A = this chain, B = another copy of it.
Amino acid sequence: MGKVSENKQQKREALLNTAFKLFTTKGLHNTSISDIVEQAGVAKGTFYLYFKDKYDINNKLMVHRSTELFDAAMERLAQKGLTDHRERILFIANDIIDSLTENKLLLMFISKNLGMGFYHFTMENEQIVEYPSIHNAYEELVRETENKISDPKLMLYMIIELIGSSIYSSILYSQPVDIETLKPHLYRSINGIIDQFTI
């Protein structure tokens, strides 16, 4: 890779990182492109060489960051060598909760984008975007539990939604209780759901 290409990638990276920082701290709508380019140290016009608009850079960030989160969890799961599907699900849940507890900016960023749940889309400016990487990890878990669980897709959907929506205020505001207090009860609930769906 030549120096020009390197520099080019540097600017793109700078824009992405700055945008992430600003979107999480100030919110998507309170962040202007002027803010981003100023803090990133590039010219205003340069922004438009890499991104269509604010929503474009937001979506690209979203794909990138959430992919990292899930891929890392699945990788650690593989290293663990767990075989029981219940244990595997709880491991993933725990891993993601820990990652988000340590990285609250990421939690805010993902939650601000995913709107109501972990599962699907973000709708901003009339664009609907799906996040394929999340689905990859998700499909993998679905496949491996097919013969032990009656409706694995829906069960996992509900478990993920339960986790995603429960931990948000717990991690950020310790409401209604802090995350360490919530965790055992959350696992109890997950176990209760798995019980119901186990064949």
Binding site for B on A (CB under 8 A): 29-30, 111-112, 114-121, 125, 151, 153-155, 157-158, 161-162, 164-166, 168-169, 173, 175-177, 182, 185-186, 188-189, 191-197
Contact = CB atoms under 8 A, between A and B. Distances in A.
Contacts of A117: 165-166, 168-169
Contact of A162 (B162, B191, B197): B162
15 contacts: A117-B166, A120-B169, A120-B173, A155-B189, A157-B166, A161-B166, A162-B189, A165-B165, A185-B197, A189-B192, A189-B193, A189-B196, A191-B192, A192-B193, A195-B195
A62 to B, nearest CB: 15
A169 B119 contact: yes
Given A165-B164, A192-B194, A193-B193, A111 B115 contact: yes
A29 B30 CA distance: 10
Contact of A164 (B116, B118, B119): B116
Contacts of A182: 154
Given A116-B116, A121-B169, A189-B193, A161 B162 contact: yes
Given A115-B111, A169-B119, A177 B154 contact: yes
Given A158-B189, A192-B195, A195-B195, 4 more contacts: A119-B175, A119-B176, A155-B189, A192-B196
Main secondary structure of the interface of A (DSSP, over half): helix
Contacts of A164: 116, 165
Contacts of A191: 192, 196
A161 B162 CA distance: 6
A125 B197 CA distance: 42
Contacts of A176: 119, 153-154, 157
